[in-house]
Structure 1
């Protein structure tokens, strides 16, 4: 016996129901495909490896993450001739991330001096003596390396086609500079280097963003090269420094 031709009010015939449902499925299919495609693309993106950082970005990230609080470091600074003869040795402790202050001992072939560096002045006298300290402007503590502006020095190197060597830690950055380039970081240091024709410089930066070593090969047009090497170690809190008194 065939089914009745009518159904209860509020219901659809099978043909009408199938037609409407099929139409809904037909209209929803493109959206469903797009949604699934989005999920697949998201899964592919999340599973793909991150693009490796360039050497420059690694260095910039370290500088940005470095603690900007003042600190002290043991310093060893050596100046030697192109033939390897040591011209000057400075050892001691200095404060960084702040105006350069500290206490060092400077040695050359002619003398050995105790040195006190304050914000305003530099004080010197022969080691082992108890006489009057000689006073100089604070700029007299600056040589050829901008010791109190090392992060800016690294950025200068990167901005002058600096090469980043990532084979070991700490990371080394190097570039070929002119004295006028260094003036943009520290005018006094740049002027100290004016007799030079060029400076090949290397800076080492550790994972904490601290500069731990600087080397400069300083070239001259009519005299032998000079090499400056600055090494910073034993990082601690700031040490107090005040003007010395004779005793």
Structure 2
């Protein structure tokens, strides 16, 4: 166990905020940055808790949408005549969240151990990049968020489960699924952000107890350092959301795929030559 420094918590908080919403995998980047710069692992619990900052950014950024959806959902439960789009979206978020809650609970130990291996992370960065490319190649983008269906929600919820593997990317997996289903890029990313909220908040709260307990492995952060990283993740994450939604309206995910492939190949070379350790 090595104590985390304040500089490390600042860097990791910024990395979390910058990469959580971009389809490049925040968990992969936290793991890679920890290894390359600090020669140690920040740990899955630190990653999960710092994600609370980025999810708070989603809550603030989409506050009006979320408030409207929640109000419509409760109103629709009481009055069938008020079951419009927002009411349905509320249910869609619930449907999409169930798979990752179940699988996340079942595979908690694997996520915190085997899932931290840099060989696996590097390979997934490369492999899933081709999913982005294929999704863009066959995307019709004929439907907006107002045409979202229950099937879309379930499929995107199942795709979100792939994000349990570091290197995949939550937003990349769900947005790719949305593109395959015919949603336009902005609609796919917007719903991706909405369904991430309950899953990531639940994961972060569940990991709080582990984040503040000493561990025999990896960097050990103090309570203050975790709070600082979370606050930084919120600020940077909010800016990242605003930028990404503008970017994807006119640009494909292939830009991110190219970056992921370069990063993945670079990491494989560093691992193969023994420059960095896989665990």
Same fold (TM over 0.5): no
The alignment's TM-score, normalised by the length of structure 2, stands at 0.21
Say which structure is richer in strand: 1
The alignment's TM-score, normalised by the length of structure 1, stands at 0.23
